[in-house]
Structure formats: structure tokens, C-alpha cells
Amino acid sequence: MTPLIEVRDLHFQYEDGTKALDGVNFTLNAGETVAVFGANGSGKTTFVLHLNGILGGQGSVTVCGIPVNKETLARVRSKVGVVFQDSDEQLFMPTVLEDVAFGPLNLGLSPEQAIAKAKTALQQAGMEHALGKAPYHLSAGEKRRVALAGVLAMQPEILVLDEPTTFLDPPAQRNLLHLLAGLPQGKLIVTHHTRFAASLATRAVFFEKGKLVADGPVAEIVQRFDWIYPALDAADLRYSAQRRF
């Protein structure tokens, strides 16, 4: 069976000389949800921006059997839906309906078809009541749902979510978790939220200085890299304070 995503020996360097990806190999199979962990600046976001051709490095990226290059961008972008960290960057049309229909219209659908897709996606995201609202009037959780609906309306086979829990309060995180768990697409979730990842992901990968250094079960990766919020007691905090001052 063809993997949903296959990345081989991917290298990328920004114009200022920063080496962001250094020989990354990765595979996402159908039905899988993979958590992407790593420190800030380790190359996670740069990596996901290669999956629908926003960035193009050296090496090969294949999506649903289609090699990502200039000629295949439209097809690739209909397969990979990226939900960005800051929903405000994604929502820019005057109304929620117009924003969610933006992607389907770009794929060449008629206005009627785009509206139908947008309404279905909004229903899926539990935001059908907001279709006439202006995006800037929504709460952070609602904006995230609308941003997700905007991607779902394009009916992608793969969902890529960059820090989906950012700006969300715990109830909104819980709602998002339930929503994502019910979606059949293969998912790639870039996050620092290990509990959120553990609830959804079947496996995890870990980035370090542009390299994908580990791939395995979420619990194993979290433990191996000590990738969990520290529970410091009073003695620890006193020790840290003494060291600093």
C-alpha cells in the first residue's frame, strides 16, 4: 500500500544560511496519527511546510504517490491540509462561510459546490452556527475550529496540524481532541503538548537540530527525551533560584 507521505533524505537551508533540515527520512501510512516533537527551532515547522510544497528543499517528498514539485502543487495541496499555529493567519475573508469556501473555490469548484463543501466542513467542526459571522469576532477555540473546517472543506487525505493547542483553554483543547479523534484522515501533529499527543497519536518522531533522531511509540519517545512538563517541588525551585542569582 502506498504511504500517505514518504520523505527521503530531505535537506533544507534558509537564505541566511541556517541549516533547518539535515537528511530527514519519514513515512506516514494510512490511518496513522504521528506526533512531531522537538525543541523550538529544531526544524519541525520547516519540515511540515515541505509536505505541501510551501518550502522546497533537496531530497524527495512524495504525497499519496505524487512527487511534490512545481507541476504537482495543486494536486498535492488538495491532498495535504495544513492547519497553522496561529488561526488569525488563516482566517482573512469577511465571513466564516467565505473563508471556509476559499480553499474549494481555489480547487476550481463552482460557488454552489464550494458552499456545500464549506457547510459540511463547518458542521463537521461544530461551527455551522457561525457561518455568517466575521472571523475576528470568534473566540480562539472557535477560530481554531473554523481554520480546521477551512482545511477539511478541501477534503484532504492528510491533516497537518502545527501546534493545535496554542492559545486554547483546557475545554477548547478537549473539544479539539474529540474532533480530531473522529476524523479519518492520516494526521501529523506538531506539538509540545505530550498528553494531547498521547491521546491521539499512534507513534511519535523527535527532531533535533534539523535531524529526525527518533521514531517510535509516544510514551517511549517522551521518556527517552524527558519531553514532559517538569513537576518541580519547593526544594527544586529554591535550588534553581540560587543558581541563577
Partner 1 sequence: MHHVLMDQWSQGASPLHKRDPRAKILALAAFLIVLATTAPNAFLTLVIDAVVLVAGILIAGLPLASLLLRAMAVLPFSLTFGLISWLAGDQLRALGLVEKSYLSTVAVLLVVGTTPLPLLLSGLEALGTPRLLVLVAQFLYRYLFVVSEQAQHIRLAAACRQGIERRRRSGFRAAAGALAVLFARSYYRAEGIHRAMTARAFSGKFALLRRLQFGWADGMFTLAIAAFLILVRIQ
Q: Which is nearer to partner 1, 151 or 218 (CB)?
A: 151
CB closer to partner 1, 127 vs 222? 127
Q: Does 144 bind partner 1 (CB under 8 A)?
A: no
Q: Cβ-count burial of 11 within 10 angstroms (0-12 exposed, 13-18 middle, 19+ buried)?
A: middle
Dihedral sign (CA 39, 204, 44, 169): negative
Q: Which residues pair with 205 in a beta bridge?
A: 36, 215
Nearest 5 degrees, angle CA 157-CA 158-CA 162? Answer: 155
Write each residue from 17 to 56 as x if it is in contact with partner 1 (CB under 8 A), else as -, in one continuous string.
Answer: --------------------------------x--x-x--
* Position 86 contacts partner 1 (CB under 8 A): yes
Using the contact rule CB under 8 A, the part of the chain among 103-111, 171-179, 193-201, 227-235 near partner 1 is 103-111
Bridge partners of 58, per DSSP, are 11
Distance set, CA 105 to CA 78, 113, 118 (Å): 12, 9, 10
Q: Which is nearer to partner 1, 188 or 222 (CB)?
A: 188
* Cβ 198 to partner 1 shortest distance, Å: 27
Determine if 114 is a binding residue for partner 1 (CB under 8 A): yes
Indicate if the alpha-carbon torsion angle 123, 127, 130, 136 is positive or negative: negative
Give the interface with partner 1 as residue ranges (CB under 8 A): 49, 52, 54, 74, 77-78, 81-82, 84, 86, 88-90, 92-95, 97-98, 101-103, 105-107, 111, 114-115, 134, 136, 150-151, 154
